[in-house]
Amino acid sequence: MNNWFTVKVKYTKQLEDGTFKRVSEPYLLAAMTFSDAETRIYEELGMSIRGEFTVNGITRTDIHEIFYYEDADTWYKCKITYEAASDNVEEGGKAKKISQNILVSAHSVKEAYERLNESLKGMMMDFMIPAISISPLVDIFPFTDGGEDQVGKDLEKQLKKDIAAANKEEAQHSLGRKTVFSASGSDEEEELIDDEDSFVDDQFGEEE
């Protein structure tokens, strides 16, 4: 089973004014283990970062879904909540509150809210969006297996959904092309996510 990991990388970056600065940047990638995550980040960044870089932190990240739109490269973490019936007989089938963290690429909080609603319009239950905040993520690397890019599979799946939806109604406003990222092999059923483990919340207020 594959999971999402946040990997913090430290290196010397050349700024737009030509000066150099030591920075620490977070990346999100899909991997099976912590060791696999470290190996993958060296493979992914080895050709794009000049000079040496070091990995100074790897944490498992609870992300249920990622909606990437090609026209935006800023990530927003959105928290959604909804109620679902409990399967626990002792609880008498009482509804329980489910919380999930979702990442959406957008140009603003307002647009992230709109795109999240657009992406989740097929949900069969009412949900709330209690929080949206900007994420410091620099890039996301989905899982690849056997030379087949998971992003390609997700894009094909999403395009089929978009075509089906287009046959029913015309889009009310233009959106950028969207790709849905999921860690290959992960459970796509609704799951309870502990906000205390949220990567985005942990990153705020940290400066290095």
Domain residues of the chain, as ranges? 3-203
Looking at beta carbons, which pairs linking 9-17 to residues 24 or more positions away fall under 8 Å?
9/41, 9/45, 9/49, 9/53, 9/54, 9/55, 9/56, 10/53, 10/54, 10/55, 10/56, 10/208, 11/49, 11/51, 11/52, 11/53, 11/54, 12/51, 14/50
Structure token pair of residue 119: 């992406």
What is the DSSP pairing of strand 20-31 with strand 139-141? parallel
Q: What is the mean pLDDT of residues 91-114?
A: 89
Residue with the bigger pLDDT between 14 and 156: it is 14
| Weakest mean pLDDT among 21-25, 57-61, 90-94 | 90-94
Structure token pair of residue 102: 């979702």
Average pLDDT value for the chain:
77
Residue with the bigger pLDDT between 83 and 112: it is 112
Read off the pLDDT of residues 166-176 as tens digits, 9 standing for 90 and up: 544 444 444 56
What is the DSSP pairing of strand 74-85 with strand 53-61? unpaired
Looking at beta carbons, which pairs linking 187-193 to residues 24 or more positions away fall under 8 Å?
187/1, 190/64, 190/84, 190/98, 190/100, 191/64, 191/98, 191/100, 192/98, 192/99, 193/62, 193/64, 193/99, 193/100, 193/101
For residue 88, name the pLDDT band (cuts at 50, 70, 90): low
Read off the pLDDT of residues 139-164 as tens digits, 9 standing for 90 and up: 999 876 543 444 444 544 554 555 45
**What pLDDT is stored for residue 172 in this prediction?**
40
For residue 52, name the pLDDT band (cuts at 50, 70, 90): confident
Read off the pLDDT of residues 105-119 as tens digits, 9 standing for 90 and up: 999 999 999 999 999
Rounded-to-10 torsion of CA 196, 207, 56, 133 = 40
Read off the pLDDT of residues 67-80 as tens digits, 9 standing for 90 and up: 999 999 999 999 99
For residue 125, name the pLDDT band (cuts at 50, 70, 90): confident
Residues 6+ apart with CB under 8 A from 129: 78, 79, 80, 113, 116, 117
**What pLDDT is stored for residue 145 in this prediction?**
55
**What pLDDT is stored for residue 60 in this prediction?**
95
Residue 153 CB-density burial (10 A; 0-12 exposed, 13-18 middle, 19+ buried): middle
Residue with the bigger pLDDT between 164 and 26: it is 26
